[in-house]
Structure 1
Amino acid sequence: MVKYVLTGATGGLGSQVLKYLLQLVPASDIAVSLHNPSGLSQEILSTGIEVRQGDFADPASLDRAFAGAEKLLIVSYPSIAHELRVQMHTNAIDAAKRCGVKHLYYTSLAFAGDSVAAVMQAHLDTERYLQASGLTYTILREGIYSESFPLYLGFFDPAGGAHEVRVPHSDGGVAWVSRPDLGEGTARIMASGAHANETLLLSGARARTLAQLAATVSALVGRTLALRVVPEDEYVRAHAGGPGPRGEEAFLRKWATTYRALARGELAVVDPLLQQILGRPLKPVEETVAEMLQASGAVMEQYAK
């Protein structure tokens, strides 16, 4: 009988949750709900987990995908559109209620509860809806991925040869945390059944400013990468015309609010919970940055979790 249903199991975070949950519970206890079930690797399929088709935009498919679940993980919908994202989450929460899910886990983000960051607003709306739903829940404010450092470091492209990156408002601290550590912690929380009706912060073990991160990158790429905090208008001009949505002024203005949140110290909060759950030191951001630069130097294009 399926006890756990996971959404987002092919994504950066969800795949890590699945990986570690498979080490904690039998594969026969797990089902994954995917918009595109063919996206699962053969390696994962060979474990024997059940694969279901579930689309956040199709409530009837969610009823089928979530059927029989005792514990459900909702990985936040991958869209920067506020109203759409909230609607997709609302559809999933409503389906969980209809299906009699006993405990719902939602992956929120590590900004403050009164955050000024645009990217956090859909999460906060979802948190409020979930808290009022009557479901037993755990809200997991997942820390900022170490793997997303290029996005926060002025869209840094290691192949571009730049000697300077510009960010607006602040280079304040971030308690960076790796996706594997977050995935294992989330899996352990789900398997334990603890933390009912709580909001948890899963942060890294220490905060590092963007300037400190730029110094780390400088040492690894062999050239000085200077970080400048500039007026927002200058930041927008510097990045206008870049690839994809990030070259559009509307996006850049919204993303600039992230740095207003940095100025408030929203991402510098360190909570020992994740390290306590794992029972070992967390992977330092410097190690992740080194691995990424040595592997391919790929820039993370995703707007945010």
Structure 2
Amino acid sequence: MIVVSAASGALGRLVVAALLDRMPADQVVAAVRDPARVADLAARGVVVRRGDYDDPGSLRAAFEGADRLLLISSPELDTRRRTRQHLAAIEAAVAEGVGAIAYTSFLGADRGGDGMNAAHHATERVLLDSGAAHTVLRHPFYTDAFVDAGIGAAAESGRLVSAAGGRGLNTATRADLADAAAAVLTGDGHTGRAYDLTGPLWTYPQLAAAIGDATGRPVVHEEADAVPGAMGFLMTLARSGALERQTDDLHHLLGRPPTSLRQAVADAVDTCPDGALSEGAESD
């Protein structure tokens, strides 16, 4: 039996879907804070259990009988609380005798515990010290976030503004990362391994071109000194070269090349709500 924690989230749902392609539904457990949010999974035969990162008792019940567990990192932003939640999950898994734990960490967490990687670094250390069989899956940023934001900008104005300085980004799609997790959970030879997962490098001019090709509308890329908000922070990282690291780990786990930027854009355009792009064009 395989348990997926935080299974009601975007990544968790994709992992569950990938597992259902590989094994019977009654051998997949969706551990979630609110079981009502995954009634659709229960209808497909998935075992649904309450598992709240802030309720250690619920975690033990959720992990009971598990051969393997995917511990999806908490979305909590406070480092101390997030670390505490992960520790509670690891302690519950060890107490229940879970055979192996796979944890979704972040690229660079092995190199230090500063900033956004603090909780990931601490969790990796706790996993190592726990003595539990485990695998670390260090994720990059999601391609989906950049593509969705880019399509939105292009639909509104036909322009895509970035401040990445032409540097590359090594993002990966959620779907690819979910497939990689499912491969680890259902395969052998991963215990004791840490995978640094990266997708193919891409640049903002390439994103603009891909959006133009997928929508049939010209999209002009413009380079700025800075952009506001969370995307501006990510572009600052890109401009520094921090997102250009490359490995073959994701390719290895998938058994195929990771999804290209062009394919990710094409998929996103195909799933845009009806009229979303045309509404953007009408506002020009």
**TM over 0.5: same fold?**
yes
1:98 aligns with 2:92: no
Cα pair 1:86 1:122 within 8 Å, conserved: yes
Q: How does 1:125-274 map to 2 (within 5 A)?
A: 125-150=122-147, 157-161=153-157, 163-167=159-163, 170-204=165-199, 206-220=200-214, 222-230=217-225, 235=227, 239=228, 246=229, 252=230, 258-274=234-250
Q: Which residue of 2 aligns with 1:47?
A: 44
User: Partners of 2:84 and 2:158 in 1: how far apart?
Assistant: 40
RCO (CA 8 Å, sep 6+): is it higher in 1 or 2? Answer: 1
Q: Which residue of 2 aligns with 1:29?
A: 27
1:285 aligns with 2:261: yes
Q: What is the TM-score of this pair, normalised by structure 2?
A: 0.83
Matched to 2:116, the amino acid is V
Matched to 1:172, the amino acid is R
Task: Describe the SS at the equivalent of 1:24.
Answer: coil
Taking only aligned residues, the RMSD between alpha carbons, in angstroms, comes to 2.8
Q: Which residue of 1 aligns with 2:272?
A: 296
Gaps of 5+ in 2: 277-284
Matched to 2:223, the amino acid is R
Higher helix share: 2
Superposed CA deviations along residues 240-279 of structure 1, whole A, max 9, x for unmatched, are: xxxxxx5xxxxx5xx7554454345443233223323333
Judge which range, 177-186 or 119-128, deviates more.
Answer: 119-128
Q: 1:167 to 1:89 in 2, by over 3 A?
A: farther
1:72 aligns with 2:69: yes
Task: Describe the SS at the equivalent of 2:89.
Answer: helix
Matched to 1:188, the amino acid is A
Task: Describe the SS at the equivalent of 1:268.
Answer: coil
* Percentage of matched positions with identical amino acids: 29
Task: Describe the SS at the equivalent of 1:157.
Answer: helix
User: Partners of 2:79 and 2:197 in 1: how far apart?
Assistant: 23
User: Partners of 1:225 and 1:111 in 2: how far apart?
Assistant: 33
C-alpha displacement of 1:200: 0.5
C-alpha displacement of 1:218: 4.3
Matched to 1:177, the amino acid is A
Gaps of 5+ in 1: 240-245, 247-251, 299-305
Cα pair 2:170 2:243 within 8 Å, conserved: yes
User: Partners of 2:107 and 2:148 in 1: how far apart?
Assistant: 16
C-alpha displacement of 1:138: 0.6
Q: Which residue of 1 aligns with 2:281?
A: none
Matched to 1:289, the amino acid is V
Cα pair 1:178 1:285 within 8 Å, conserved: no
C-alpha displacement of 1:294: 4.3
Q: What is the TM-score of this pair, normalised by structure 1?
A: 0.77
Task: Describe the SS at the equivalent of 2:130.
Answer: coil
C-alpha displacement of 1:160: 3.1
Q: 1:258 to 1:112 in 2, by over 3 A?
A: farther
User: Partners of 1:113 and 1:263 in 2: how far apart?
Assistant: 22
C-alpha displacement of 1:33: 0.7
User: Partners of 2:223 and 2:113 in 1: how far apart?
Assistant: 22
